[in-house]
Amino acid sequence: MTADQNAFALKHQADYPDGFFKWLTDNMKIWKAFEAKALRMAALRERYSARTIVEVMRWETDLRQTDNLFKLSNNMTPGMARLWMHKHGKRHPKFFTLHNK
């Protein structure tokens, strides 16, 4: 992570699931796919479900990789939704409904 990303993580770690920023560092490809799918849906809908996006990612991966199951803990989904809203919430203020940790 960059210095700015580390500062953000330290400042906001209490708002995210335990271990989220370590997980994010190790799984940037998953985050980028989630971010892209959410942006695509935000162009069509005012609100959507982060869990639905993750389930679509699992489904698509299972269709492509029959021998390697996609593993993504549901515990990280709220963190991805929260980070997405931090990055894109000004343009899409109601897309994900966030709850306190």
Residues 6+ apart with CB under 8 A from 72: 30, 54, 57, 58
pLDDT per residue rounded down to tens, the chain (101 residues) = 677 777 888 888 899 999 999 999 999 999 999 999 999 999 999 999 999 999 999 888 877 766 665 577 889 999 999 999 999 999 999 999 887 76
Per-residue model confidence (pLDDT) at position 101: 60
Catalogue the E-assigned strands of the chain. none
* Model pTM score: 0.86
- Domain-embedded: residue 99: no
- Domain-embedded: residue 97: no
- Domain-embedded: residue 98: no
Per-residue model confidence (pLDDT) at position 83: 95
- Domain-embedded: residue 23: yes
Total domains, the chain: 1
What does each C-alpha distance from 94 to 59, 82, 88 come to in angstroms?
26, 12, 10
Per-residue model confidence (pLDDT) at position 19: 93
Report the candidate in 51, 25, 23 with the shortest Cα–Cα distance to residue 38.
51
- Domain-embedded: residue 94: no
